[in-house]
Chain A
Amino acid sequence: MAGLINNWLSAAEQLTVNEAQPAWLKAQRERAGMQLKSYQDPSRKLEYWRYADAGRLAEEKSSSGQLKDLGEVPQWVITISEHGYNLSENWPAHLQVSSIMDAKPEQLKDLDFDQETAANLSNTLLYSQGVGLIAAPSEDSGQVVVIYDFAEAGKWHYVRNQFVLSANSGITVHEQLSSGRINVVNVFDVNSKARLNRLQHINLNEQGAMVGFTCYELAEGAEVISMNWHQGGSLQHHIQQVNFNQSESLFKSGSINKSFDNNNITDIVNVNHHHKNNRSEVTHRSMAKDRSQIFNNAKALVAPGADQSEIEQDLKNILLSEDAKIFSKPELEVYADEVIAAHGSTIGALDEQSLFYLQSRGIPVAEARDIMIESFEQEAIIC
């Protein structure tokens, strides 16, 4: 039988034949396989795939591109490849790293995937690379840079990372992808009063693809700042899931999505306000050109009793061509009484009057457009 899910299941069987797997992983894969069997292949019938071609999950095309230059900030680099992971020589003592395959079973919880997230569930079935990182509090400041470096760029690669931020610790994790096809699940366990800066630069050419699921578990007083740059790619499918598990925490997410040619970009942020007194802010700025498509979705769920929750969802979009499509959806589901929530979504074109104003002062039209696009993006840059 053909189909994505069947492909994933038979690839998982191959894994079982080819490598020795610890008992916990075997059990985890079996559970994921069972669950996947009960799902349909991702397709436009599902909301999360309505505005993207899920058929691209089956494609195997190679691509290559340039990593972003990170400048002067001290960097501690983790390179993840077929052969495991590699740490840069200056690796600091307060960050403990091991292979995800050596993780303790109790550290690796089963994530809550459903039919909409079947493509992410395939990660549980197939990952065999990735790291577990534990951060202790430290005076040292620098960025953890995660680079994916897989030789067979045409093939899909499955990576699972788990980051544990101990109480009162603070780290910056910068994820970069510029080529290849990758399915990644990142779990951030942000303990009390810990602070995470998480940056993601995904800049792909027409062949590249990324399916990403990032889960944040926030304890009391935790703070997560998530800044995402998504550009290009045959397929970019990003889901961030945020769980406020105690109070007094903050989650802020900024995204800049830029699509052109035939790119499909999906950017979903689900925030679960399970408890009182937490604040979430989601700001997306998206631009679609040519025949490309973007789906933006910010969803916040406020559980009964989660009073004093504060929620902001601000999605703005610009269509740069007639054939481009953008779907933008802020969503609030509120079961508590005292909640402060604001949400908005707009889709428009570059303002003609402003363009003319810039031109009338001598700025060539192409540059005038760039200036306006840059100013539009500015609002989503939160760090």
Chain B
Amino acid sequence: MLTIKDIYAKAGDKDILKGLNLEVKPGEVHAIMGPNGAGKSTLGNLLAGMPYVEPQSGSVEFLGKDLLALDPEERAAEGVFLAFQYPVEIPGVNNMYFLRTALNAQRKYRGEEPVDSAQFLRMVKQKIKAMNMRDDLLKRPVNVGFSGGEKKRNEVFQMGVLEPRLAILDETDSGLDIDALKIVADGVNQLRSADRSFIIITHYQRLLDYIEPDFVHVLADGKIVKSGSKKLALELEEQGYGWLNQ
């Protein structure tokens, strides 16, 4: 599904990704851990098409296409979704309107019929219940005045509505209380399927108790320095990252 080959990339004018390789097959869940500043968010941003992340060399193939050649909105319509580490607030843009516009833009790109507002409302009502989110958040402007946890939940809710093929969750578990963590994990687990994959960036193995990863990778200094099973996350939790250098 996703093949990242020897990627070098700058964030602003700094070299951040330095020869990163990663292969994600359909249905797999990959967890990425690693020290602060290692380049985890930069990887997510690169895949989503953030303008200030500039690939220098290497390639990214997604469902047979050259991902880096596509605009951010095209990547989204092809099925890439990034749950942001820091979701932005957009005053004046209603959450529901935003999400329906996004969904219909993606459908249009794929040559599908738009969903009308009644259909959309039914679908959203059902998803929001499953996400255990307060539905008044939908009527508010995107993320404006949301608590940290509410913003993260809103990201996962959007993921539920947009049903991507590849979801990248960038520290979606940070700042969540235990109940919210379970809700977010539920949201992910409900979406898990044979043709959908996840990259889960996290600092805490706690989340991985709820979302069983197939692989755990350590990203340090711009590349994957170690890969393993779920056990690796436990080792990291106990010992930190220092031992990897020895």
Number of chain B residues whose Cβ lies closer than 8 Å to a Cβ of chain A: 31
Closest to B75 in A: A360
User: How many Cβ-Cβ contacts under 8 Å join chain A to chain B?
Assistant: 74
Determine if A361 and B71 form an interchain contact, defined as CB atoms under 8 angstroms apart: no
Q: Which A residues are in CB contact (< 8 Å) with B88?
A: 351, 353-354, 357
Determine if A357 and B87 form an interchain contact, defined as CB atoms under 8 angstroms apart: yes
A362 within 8 A of B: yes
Binds B, one of A57-65, A270-278, A374-382: A374-382
B35 within 8 A of A: no
Q: Which B residues are in CB contact (< 8 Å) with A359?
A: 49, 71-73, 76
Q: Which B residues are in CB contact (< 8 Å) with A351?
A: 88
Determine if B92 and A357 form an interchain contact, defined as CB atoms under 8 angstroms apart: no
Determine if B92 and A379 form an interchain contact, defined as CB atoms under 8 angstroms apart: yes
Determine if A360 and B82 form an interchain contact, defined as CB atoms under 8 angstroms apart: yes
The one of A356, A360, A371 that contacts B93, using a Cβ cutoff of 8 Å = A371
Closest to A357 in B: B88
Q: For A358, A359, A361, A375, which residue has the most chain B Cβ atoms within 10 angstroms?
A: A361
Determine if A358 and B162 form an interchain contact, defined as CB atoms under 8 angstroms apart: no
The one of B75, B87, B102 that contacts A363, using a Cβ cutoff of 8 Å = B102
Closest to A377 in B: B92
Determine if A362 and B77 form an interchain contact, defined as CB atoms under 8 angstroms apart: yes
Determine if B102 and A361 form an interchain contact, defined as CB atoms under 8 angstroms apart: yes
- Complex Cα–Cα for A67 and B50 (A): 41
B101 within 8 A of A: yes
* B90 CB, nearest partner CB in chain A, Å: 5
Determine if A360 and B48 form an interchain contact, defined as CB atoms under 8 angstroms apart: yes
Determine if A364 and B105 form an interchain contact, defined as CB atoms under 8 angstroms apart: yes
Q: Which of A326-353 contact B (CB under 8 A)?
A: 351-353
0/1 string, A251-277, CB within 8 A of B gives 1: 000000000000000000000000000
* B239 CB, nearest partner CB in chain A, Å: 35
Closest to B102 in A: A361
Q: Which A residues are in CB contact (< 8 Å) with B105?
A: 362-364, 367
- Complex Cα–Cα for A367 and B97 (A): 13
* A305 CB, nearest partner CB in chain B, Å: 39
- Complex Cα–Cα for A35 and B54 (A): 64
The one of B72, B81, B91 that contacts A356, using a Cβ cutoff of 8 Å = B72
**Dominant SS among interface residues on chain A:** helix
* B82 CB, nearest partner CB in chain A, Å: 6
Determine if B72 and A360 form an interchain contact, defined as CB atoms under 8 angstroms apart: yes
B197 within 8 A of A: no
Q: Which of B34-85 contact A (CB under 8 A)?
A: 48-51, 71-73, 75-77, 81-82, 84
For chain A, the bracket of interface size reads 20 to 34
* B70 CB, nearest partner CB in chain A, Å: 11
The one of A352, A362, A376 that contacts B103, using a Cβ cutoff of 8 Å = A362
- Complex Cα–Cα for A381 and B51 (A): 33
* A356 CB, nearest partner CB in chain B, Å: 6
B205 within 8 A of A: no
Determine if B101 and A367 form an interchain contact, defined as CB atoms under 8 angstroms apart: yes
Q: For A352, A354, A359, A364, which residue has the most chain B Cβ atoms within 10 angstroms?
A: A359
Determine if B73 and A362 form an interchain contact, defined as CB atoms under 8 angstroms apart: yes
Determine if B91 and A375 form an interchain contact, defined as CB atoms under 8 angstroms apart: yes
B109 within 8 A of A: yes
* A117 CB, nearest partner CB in chain B, Å: 35
The one of A356, A363, A376 that contacts B51, using a Cβ cutoff of 8 Å = A356
* B71 CB, nearest partner CB in chain A, Å: 7
B158 within 8 A of A: yes
A27 within 8 A of B: no
A134 within 8 A of B: no
B106 within 8 A of A: yes
Determine if A360 and B76 form an interchain contact, defined as CB atoms under 8 angstroms apart: yes
A111 within 8 A of B: no
- Complex Cα–Cα for A379 and B87 (A): 23
B98 within 8 A of A: yes
Q: Which A residues are in CB contact (< 8 Å) with B99?
A: 361
* B43 CB, nearest partner CB in chain A, Å: 15
- Complex Cα–Cα for A107 and B84 (A): 64
Determine if B92 and A361 form an interchain contact, defined as CB atoms under 8 angstroms apart: no
A365 within 8 A of B: yes
Determine if B102 and A358 form an interchain contact, defined as CB atoms under 8 angstroms apart: yes
* B110 CB, nearest partner CB in chain A, Å: 10
- Complex Cα–Cα for A360 and B72 (A): 5
Q: Which A residues are in CB contact (< 8 Å) with B91?
A: 375
Determine if A358 and B82 form an interchain contact, defined as CB atoms under 8 angstroms apart: no
Q: Which B residues are in CB contact (< 8 Å) with A374?
A: 92
Q: Which B residues are in CB contact (< 8 Å) with A362?
A: 73, 76-77, 102-103, 105-106, 109, 162
Some 28 contacts from A to B, beta carbons below 8 A apart, are A353-B88, A354-B90, A358-B98, A358-B102, A359-B49, A359-B72, A359-B73, A360-B49, A360-B72, A360-B76, A360-B84, A361-B99, A361-B102, A361-B162, A362-B76, A362-B77, A362-B102, A362-B103, A362-B109, A363-B73, A364-B73, A365-B71, A365-B72, A365-B73, A371-B93, A374-B92, A375-B90, A375-B92
Mark A residues whose CB is within 8 Å of B: 351-354, 356-365, 367-368, 371-372, 374-376, 378-379
**Apart from A361-B98, A378-B92, what 5 extra A-B contacts exist at CB < 8 Å?**
A357-B84, A357-B88, A359-B73, A361-B102, A375-B93
Which are the 6 A-B pairs with shortest beta-carbon distances?
Answer: A375-B92, A362-B76, A361-B102, A362-B106, A359-B72, A362-B105
